[in-house]
Amino acid sequence: MAISKREYAELLNELVCDQCDHEYCLLKELLLSMHPSERMLMQMKCIEKFKFEKSKEEDHDIGWSDAATRWVTEGHAKKFAILFNEEKKIRSLYNEIMET
């Protein structure tokens, strides 16, 4: 089901601009015009959170490529496919993936 432009903007605020206090955001504007799927954006945010946690655990930046590879090989991508729902907030979805 397609979401409205307002709902999509709210999703971007949650995923991209959660730490941004600027009224205008170039990244958000680009994403609004390109309109990539909500599913893809949410999975990218999950991988970003995963990358941050693993980098912190290992005391160095593991990089996007390694994080994405581990996301798949450790079974998180499969869990994402099962648990993904447009209604879920990113924090609860990510926590659910990591807990199961």
CB 25 within 8 A of CB 70: no
Question: Degrees (nearest 5) of the Cα angle 24, 6, 96?
Answer: 95
DSSP state letter for 17:
S
pLDDT tens string, the chain, 100 residues long: the values are 567 778 877 887 777 766 666 677 777 777 777 777 889 889 999 999 999 999 999 999 999 999 999 999 999 999 999 999 888 888 999 999 999 8
Cα distance between the two ends of the chain: 27
pTM to 2 decimals? Answer: 0.78
Give the model's pLDDT for residue 8.
Answer: 76
Residue 17: φ, ψ to 5°: -110, 25
Give the model's pLDDT for residue 19.
Answer: 66
Q: How is the chain split into domains, by residue range?
A: 1-36, 37-100
Instruction: Determine the Cα–Cα distance for residues 21 and 89; give it in Å rounded to an integer.
Output: 20
Give the model's pLDDT for residue 17.
Answer: 64
Give the model's pLDDT for residue 1.
Answer: 54
Give the model's pLDDT for residue 66.
Answer: 97
